[in-house]
Structure 1
Amino acid sequence: MNLNVYVRFDGRCETAFNFYAPILRGKIVMMVPYAETPEAAQVPKEWQGKIMHARLELGERALMASDVPPQRFEPPKGFHVQIAVKNPVEAEEIFNALAAGGIVTKPIQETFWAAKFGTLVDQFGLPWMINCDRPV
């Protein structure tokens, strides 16, 4: 069993995934616009290029997403997408890249449990938590 994250965007899914892929060293393996689905006839013309389903593979895990029409979109709340890395330098690099244009809610720093830990909401409204455990 795998537990993956599926998020919804306000029409910026493709832009977000193109932003995330190099930062997270992942690979976009699926990016399907509404125009290429059986639902195309039910989608307004201006929404045809928006993404019905996207998949960014990150090793054995995936971040998946879609765009939802404005009347159905709700900003994410009550969770963070958590990234765990083993290298404190990598933690800072990922944190700083994701923070570009976003809001840092807890600057990345050493804590009593982590070599590096920080939280942010990126420019697309997605909340992230970056953690690098202390060496054992």
Structure 2
Amino acid sequence: MSQIITYLTFNGNCREAMEFYQECLGGELKLQTLEDTPRADVFPDQLKGFVVQAALEKDGMLLMGTDMVDRELVRGNSISILLGASSEEQLQEYYQKLKKGSVSAHPLGKTHWGNLFGSLVDKYGNEWLFHYHIK
């Protein structure tokens, strides 16, 4: 099965962000740090807690992340995470939880095309789009 997965890169706070997303969305979170790798001894102690790979899975959703970046990390506005829900209530719940600490928001509301839509930039600088198709 082919799929597109959202993969986020952080500057040392991947664990914190992924645990926040787990609190907001639920699901199972798996983390691997540099300390968990076979070559952990070659890394400085201050880097051993950095996340090599994180995966948050729930109901067919997969959100991944890492602290491993080999260039300057620049947050831009060209990538968003689109979060669809199976009910209006579920979408409201996701929005309210992810809204905590967000820096900007477009409140959830009905659109002219007949759906529930909203957006926000969370406290980690990632843009989330929320969508529910009203039947």
Residue 103 of structure 1: aligned partner = 103
SS at match of 2:17: helix
Letter in 2 for 1:56: L
**What is the RMSD computed on CA atoms of the aligned residues?**
2.0
Residue 68 of structure 1: aligned partner = 68
The 1:76/1:87 distance shift into structure 2, 3 A limit, reads same
Letter in 2 for 1:48: K
Letter in 2 for 1:100: K
The 1:108/1:39 distance shift into structure 2, 3 A limit, reads farther
Residue 78 of structure 2: aligned partner = 78
TM-score, structure 1 length as denominator? 0.86
* Range moving further from structure 2, 42-51 or 76-85: 42-51
Letter in 2 for 1:122: D
* Range moving further from structure 2, 31-40 or 120-129: 31-40
The share of aligned pairs that are identical, in percent, is: 25
Distance in 1 (alpha carbons) for counterparts of 2:114 and 2:76: 26
Residue deviations 1:10-34 (CA, integer Å, cap 9, x gap): 2111111111113212211x20111
Distance in 2 (alpha carbons) for counterparts of 1:65 and 1:39: 20
Residue 2 of structure 1: aligned partner = 3
User: Could you tell me how far 1:55 is from its partner in structure 2?
Assistant: 0.6
SS at match of 2:124: coil
Question: What count of residue pairs does the alignment treat as equivalent?
Answer: 134
Retained in 2: the 8 A contact 1:11–1:69?
no
Letter in 2 for 1:32: Q
User: Could you tell me how far 1:61 is from its partner in structure 2?
Assistant: 3.2
List gaps (5 residues or longer) in structure 2: none
Letter in 1 for 2:26: R
